[in-house]
Structure 1
């Protein structure tokens, strides 16, 4: 069973990598997010919002501590995170494969300025990947849990840490996602719908996540939350708070 869980975690991780590349391609219009209309606008909006709602519901419910406590009675605890990654990959792939384009153009940037936008896009992708490594890439994707289980090592207890990007913003991964989704030289109504709905979901999801973090880390996280902004970096906020306190 331990070997199976480890192989399972590797498979989930491989699928996650493929879907992340698909995500980038989708936003860059390789996946026709800006393609020709396939349905009337009202139908397209309904389908697209349903897809995002399904992703958000599964993603949020499976992240809640109460659900996890029940879930690990059904599946091995060492496979819980890998399964979470698997469902996220599945629902994202469902969005990309079933997305209904709404091709009305909001803005169209061309020439050298377009390359600047692409640069911001890849900066967002770099922020996402860097964020996962700062707090443990293996733990983020479920590999570390499966590897520790294979070796018979006790599960690591979570520790409160704020390395590098986490000193500028509490959730740099989600910040990178918003940057990556928004930085496009051609913004269509369908792409804007995707950005708006996903940003709304991210904001709601982070509120729920922060409640769990407060319960887990208590005053340490409360102090951190006062000093560091949630999504929009503000490097001078902590210094200003300290000056006001003095």
Structure 2
């Protein structure tokens, strides 16, 4: 091979790498956009506000059908969300998917699973409780929005853009490796170990009108959150060792200021 041929081959290789990195960052931003739209829709879906189809709207079907379909939809999301988040799966998955887009792929598939749930959800409109006082109802709705705000704020405290894959594709485009993970406990994480999950629980349960369908959604997602915490804390203990074990003894899992078990 002549020197000129070698230079041309290196140039083509560099251009190929650049195109791959550009595709990766485009994919990352697309995945993030899908997530963000889905997240905003989730607020309206759970709160029964603004969106065309919410947790209590849509075609009414027999309760047995509604229960089966809704449980299947939540199972699809839970399985995808939990399995793809496990370290063992990531090790296997990144044999086929570049590490730079692994997180973006996870975010995209989780968002699509959630969008499927919104689309196919069957309402069960029987009322379990209802707040009739307008001011109290508004306060309860406000508490739900506080929960959503806690979720979003907590993601920014630890690194919102890494959590949703943008940091990875940006570093890949710049040719920089991802920094080594450090264990950090900023602000809310000094009071509870899982403020994101706490925010979801508040958002799901703070409803001025609680229907059977909404109750099913809140109960199943809360149960899933508790299982998810168990799996996540096992991974964090493997990753950070005694540092995370000491953190568990100092800080409560979900209830602020409650002494950890």
By the TM > 0.5 criterion, same fold?
yes
| Aligned ranges 1:169-208 → 2 under 5 Å | 169-208=192-231
Contact 1:37 1:102 (8 Å CA) reproduced: no
Once superposed, what is the RMSD of the aligned Cα atoms? 1.3
Q: What is the aligned partner in structure 2 of residue 55 from structure 1?
A: 77
**Distance apart, 1:32 and its partner CA:** 3.0
**Contact 2:70–2:122 at 8 Å: present in 1 too?**
yes
Q: Which residue of the partner structure matches residue 36 of structure 2? A: 17
Instruction: Compute the displacement of 1:236 (Å).
Output: 5.6
CA contact (8 A) 2:130 2:208 kept: yes
Q: CA deviation at 1:33?
A: 1.3
The residue number in structure 2 matching 1:69 is 91
Kindly state the Cα deviation for residue 35 of structure 1 after the two structures are TM-superposed: 2.6
Q: In structure 2, which of residues 100, 107, 121 is the aligned counterpart of residue 78 of structure 1?
A: 100
Distance in 1 separating the partners of 2:222 and 2:41: 19
Tell me how far apart the structure 2 counterparts of residues 33 and 158 of structure 1 sit (CA, whole Å).
Answer: 38
1:33 to 39, 44, 55: 55
What TM-score comes out, normalization by structure 1 length?
0.94
Distance in 2 of aligned mates of 1:218 and 1:207: 15
Structure with more relative contact order (C-alpha pairs < 8 Å, separation 6 or more): 1
The CA distance in 1 between the partners of 2:59 and 2:23, in whole Å, is 44
| Contact residue 36 and residue 103 of structure 1 kept, 8 A | no
Cα distance in 1 between the residues matched to 2:180 and 2:123: 44
Q: Does 1:115 align with 2:138?
A: yes
Name which one, 1 or 2, has greater alpha-carbon Rg.
2
Tell me the residue number matched to 1:244. none
Structure 2, unaligned runs of 5 or more: 1-19
SS of 2:128's equivalent in the other structure is: strand
> Is 2:175 the counterpart of 1:152?
yes
TM-score normalized with structure 2 length: 0.89
Pairing 1:213–2:230 present: no
Distance 2:161 2:116 in 1: 25
CA distance in structure 1 between the partners assigned to 2:239 and 2:190 by the alignment: 19
Residues 136-186 of structure 1 show CA distances to partners (whole Å, capped at 9, x for unaligned) of: 111011000000000001111110000000011111001100101111111
The answer (yes or no) to whether the contact 1:37–1:103 under 8 Å persists in 2 is no
Instruction: Give the Cα–Cα distance (whole angstroms) in 2 for the partners of residues 37 and 204 of structure 1.
Output: 31
Aligned residues: 238
